Amino acid sequence: MSEAVVELCDVFCVHRTNEGDAAALAGTNLELARGEVLGVLGPSGAGKSTLLRVIAGIQPPSAGVVRVLGRDIGRMSAGSRSRLRHELIGFLGQDTETALSPDLRVRDAITLPLVLRGVPRRERRIRVDELLAATTLAGRADALPGELSGGERQRFALCAALAHRPALLLADEPTGELDEASADGTRALIIELARINGTSVILVTHDPATAEVADRTLRIRDGRIVGERRGTEEALVINGGWLRLPSDVLTQAEIGRRARVRPIPDGVIVTRADSDSGPIGPVGSAAASARPQPPVPWVPAQVGLCSVARTYGYGLTTRNVLGGLTHDFVPGQMTVITGRSGAGKTTLLKLVAGLDRPSSGQVMLDGHPLGDCNSEQLASLRRERTGYLPQEPVPIGFLSAAENIVLVLRIRGWDADAAAERAARTLTRAGLADRARQRVHRLSAGEAQRLALARALASARGLLIVDEPTSRQDENNARAVAALLAAAAHEEGQTVICATHDPTVIRQADKVVVLDG
């Protein structure tokens, strides 16, 4: 039995589709010690989520060796891998919708893993109460998942993954949709699990604060581990002689595609080759230079709230999410809605989009009360004016990125040529020009989210509503998304209303509205 809890040796994972093969992991090597908390960072599409799925036995490797808790995953049957997950692994994926049954109240959803493992009733109750207290969710324990905010669902899904005290926890962006206080509590819960129970943890994250709590962090790019940080020491990782130099270092040295390497007694010197044409701009750099084409064929939407309240449930389960909110959004500016998880940010966006109705009060769009419209009229208004990015976007998987955008524009009455041109321009601005013809199921979670944002931006004609647009983005892409939203307001004439916890987006806002519940 190996001392390491997880070992990967030269692991490849190739996705085979009708459009060709793509390697999500390309010779990945990794070790995780017992009780160690390991952070994994990297840009969208680097292979982070695939790495977790391979370790969990959800996705078999195409080549290489994966050992988990002494078992060779690649040599196990699907049933054996399933039993291993059931007994010893806690898995929290990016899609929290699949972690909680829509028909189970969340207390029951957290209890279910313990019931399936034969834990006695009294122990089950104690364990569930411990998790609810640690995540400050006891007051929402009897709610259905559909009644929760995105941040609340994320914390409940983590509770379900931790309920059986797994020997190995695999968590994909566990703090992606959480406010700072909730994120701190979630990180503390994970670290406590590791320290008290000796659980080994792999955290995939874009959040620097989450990475900081790890004993060690790895950086992954193009399916390979390229860097490691332990304490204050950072180092590049060499895989079978393969070494990737950081792009900012290459740019600073004015090295593009070709370099010379010269050994010296205590290392090597890398210099630009004579045949090199100079540094290459980052992928998606065209997004910074792409600008909308004047003139803008719409005017910014005028949105106002007058004593808007929204209540869910009945009797003892009644919950007041919004209470008497009055606010006028400035047309052609970017307004950020922020506040703790569950404060009503997503509810507010749905009310403005006409996807939900207030319990009292009125939502006004261009001077007209939405409460006077029926469902068909609200849908027509959305087609005419609104681009909407939900918290859990679902682009159409069997269509390409460009086809996803063209489809929504054609539904809104654009002709084919104009729709194709706007789709191409919007994908470029979102840094996805090179992914335009890729089917959605081949995109990373971060890329799929940016596609959904591009789709909303392309279809907006005066009103752009977006919910947590950077929750799956690395730091560079988060900055690009924030700038894109600001440009949509200031250059395209959109009234932008954005719910977020991300300081990068908040800094770009013209106005900030804080909801406190």
Q: What is the pLDDT of residues 228-239, one digit of tens each?
A: 988 888 888 887
Residues 222 and 301 in one domain: no
Q: Assess if residue 244 is contained within a domain.
A: no
Please count the CA atoms within 13 angstroms of the CA of 436 that sit on its side-chain side.
18
Same domain, 310 and 216: no
Two tokens at 137? 């969710």
| Domain membership flag for residue 218 | yes
In a domain, residue 253? The reply is: no
Q: Is the Cβ–Cβ distance between 186 and 179 less than 8 Å? A: no
Same domain, 371 and 465: yes
On whether both 502 and 413 belong to a single domain, the answer is: yes
Regarding whether 316 and 214 lie in a shared domain, the answer is: no
| DSSP-derived pairing of the beta strands 224-230 and 334-339 | unpaired
> Which residues have C-beta within 8 Å of that of residue 402, sequence separation ≥ 6?
420, 423, 424, 427, 436, 437
Identify whether 197 is part of a domain. yes
Residues 196 and 313 in one domain: no
Asked, for residue 330, whether it belongs to a domain, the answer is yes
15 domain residue, yes or no: no
Give this prediction's pTM: 0.76
The one-letter amino acid code at 486 reads A
Does 312 share its domain with 222? Answer: no
d(CA 471, CA 483): 15
Indicate if 126 and 222 belong to the same structural domain. yes
> What is the domain-level CATH number for residue 326?
3.40.50.300
Q: Tell me the residue range of the domain where 392 lies.
A: 297-515
Compute the distance between CA of residue 72 and CA of residue 508 in angstroms, rounded to an integer: 48
18-22, 164-168, 297-301, 336-340: the lowest-pLDDT one: 18-22
Tell me the pLDDT tens digit for each residue of 86-116. 889 989 887 766 667 888 888 898 898 899 8
Residue 411 lies in a domain: yes
Q: Does one domain contain both 212 and 115? A: yes
**Bond into 295 cis (ω within 30):** yes
Q: Are residues 203 and 332 in the same domain?
A: no
State the Cα–Cα distance between residues 311 and 21, nearest whole angstrom. Answer: 49
269 burial (CB, 10 Å; 0-12 / 13-18 / 19+) is exposed
- Choose one of 215, 230, 245: the last residue of a domain: 230
Residue type, 310: R
User: Based on the domain organization, do 313 and 458 belong to the same domain?
Assistant: yes
Same domain, 188 and 322: no
Q: How confident is the model at residue 21 (pLDDT cuts 50, 70, 90)?
A: low
Q: How many domains does the chain have?
A: 2
pLDDT in tens, 348-376: 999 999 999 999 999 999 999 999 999 99
Among the candidates 230, 253, 288, a domain finishes at 230
Q: Is 169 exposed, middle or buried (0-12, 13-18, 19+ CB in 10 A)?
A: buried
**Domain finish residue from 210, 230, 250:** 230
Would you say residue 273 lies in a domain? no
